[in-house]
Amino acid sequence: MKHLLSLEKMSHADMIAVLQSGAAFKHARATHAKPLAGQTWALIFSKSSTRTRVSFEVGIRELGGESLFLSAGDIQLGRGEPIKDTARVLGRMIHGAVIRTFAQSDVEDFANYSGVPTVNALTDDEHPCQVLTDIFTFEEKRGPIADQVVTFIGDGACNMPVSWIFAAAKLGFELRIAAPKNYQPAPEILRRAGGKVIVTEDLQAAAAGADLLYTDVWVSMGKEPESAQRLKELTGYQINAALLKLAKPGALVMHCLPAYRGKEIDEETFEAHAATIFDQAENRLHVQKAILNWLVA
């Protein structure tokens, strides 16, 4: 039984297989095989979503399956039914699950108890589908990411940079994370991942010569009570024209979205790189179809 629970646990070979077949799913959108024919997949979401929800619902349909969207607040999970009981019930009825939640242990418990392929569609710890898509998008535009320099600016301790950290070691690129001290990744994560990851408060140094500048929201879902403090402490950790000048000429700018202009990125830079950013959003569909196909193969 295969699952996609984190990039930490995904092998290099599986990453390469998914990245390669993403291109095939993108280029043969109407004509590819239907590996989910006769299957029903549940999307169990405890947090908001636009891209992840729609790309999985459309992707499952295009692969021949049906999807069932279950907002955690509408099922007994939201009233305290344990995830392991929810998993054992759904596992008898569905063929796979895509879960967006808070605790990483919840997607792991669901995978263990349900007996069906389970996908992490974002937890507080990781967002593996997004980072696989980001790497696919980079490679589509620039070729292999190995030996390139990726710079993440902003909240360096949230799910996005953590998935980037595990990808860096496996795919052999240099990752620089520019974040204030309180928003840097835990040393334990850096130790577990290995690879070439530089963490600094100096965003200019981190951006110098980079092939890709990447950012994410300063206030992740679930962190809203810290909003005022985060907006104050992360001020300045922004992708803007001045920072981009330090990167390699022609460097890409990416954002996983949703974007908050004037916070982690300025309006001018966002709009100048909108073609890349919305290709990234579209590619969620193609890469996740590759992920689903890999899970059931």
Query: Is 216 annotated in the active site?
Result: yes
| Of positions 50, 105, 204, 229, contacts ligand CP by CB under 6 A | 50
Distance CA 245, CA 126 (A): 30
The count of chain residues that interact with ligand CP, using the rule CB under 6 A, is 8
**Rg of the Cα trace of the chain?**
19
Report CA 278 to chain centroid distance, whole Å: 15
What does 273 interact with, of ligand CP, ligand NVA, none (CB < 5 to 8 A by kind)? Answer: none
CB of 88 to ligand CP, least distance (A): 27
d(CA 24, CA 16): 13
Residue 279 is among the residues annotated as catalytic for this protein:
no
**3-39 burial, b if ≥16 CB within 10 A, otherwise e?**
bbbbbbebeeebbeebbebbbebbeeeeebeebbeeb
> Which member of 130, 148, 184, 280 is catalytic?
130
Give every CB contact of residue 245 below 8 A, 6+ residues apart in sequence. Answer: none
List all residues 6 or more positions away from 284 whose beta carbon is below 8 Å from its beta carbon: 51, 52, 55, 129, 130, 133
Residue nearest to ligand NVA (CB): 220
173 CB-side CA count, 13 A: 24
- Complex with ligand CP: residue 33 or 54, whichever CB lies closer: 54
Q: How far is the CB of 292 from ligand NVA (least distance, A)?
A: 19
Question: Which residue shows structure tokens 């969620």?
Answer: 284
Binding partner of 235, given ligand CP, ligand NVA, none, CB within 5-8 angstroms per partner class = none
Stretch that binds ligand CP, among 11-19, 49-57, 60-68, 173-181 (CB under 6 A): 49-57
Catalytic residue among 3, 51, 53, 127: 127
Question: Of ligand CP, ligand NVA, none, which one does residue 50 interact with (CB within 5 to 8 Å by kind)?
Answer: ligand CP
CA distance 90 to 76: 12
Q: Which residue is listed with tokens 């030996």? A: 147
Which one among 7, 36, 39, 51 touches ligand CP, defined by CB under 6 A? 51
CB-nearer residue toward ligand NVA: 127 or 286: 127
Which residue is it, tokens 């729609």? Answer: 54
Rank residues 114 and 120 by Cβ distance to ligand CP and give the closer one. 120
> Residue 66 to residues 33, 35, 115, 170: CA-CA distances in angstroms?
15, 12, 19, 33
Which range of residues in 50-58, 147-155, 175-183, 241-249 is near ligand CP by CB under 6 A? 50-58
Active-site residue, selected from the candidate residues 39, 148, 256, 286: 256
Is 221 in contact with 47 (CB distance < 8 Å)? Answer: yes
Binding site for ligand NVA (CB under 6 A): 122, 127, 158-160, 216-217, 220-221, 256
User: Any catalytic annotation for residue 256?
Assistant: yes
Residue nearest ligand CP by beta-carbon distance: 52
Alpha carbon distance 134, 141 (integer Å): 11
68 vs 259 by CB, closer to ligand NVA:
259
The nearest distance, CB 191 to ligand CP, in angstroms, is 27
Our answer to whether residue 158 is catalytic in this structure is no
Among positions 79-138, residues that touch ligand CP (CB under 6 A) are 122, 130
Residue numbers annotated as active site:
100, 127, 130, 216, 256, 284
Q: By the criterion CB under 6 A, which residues form the site for ligand CP?
A: 49-52, 122, 130, 256-257
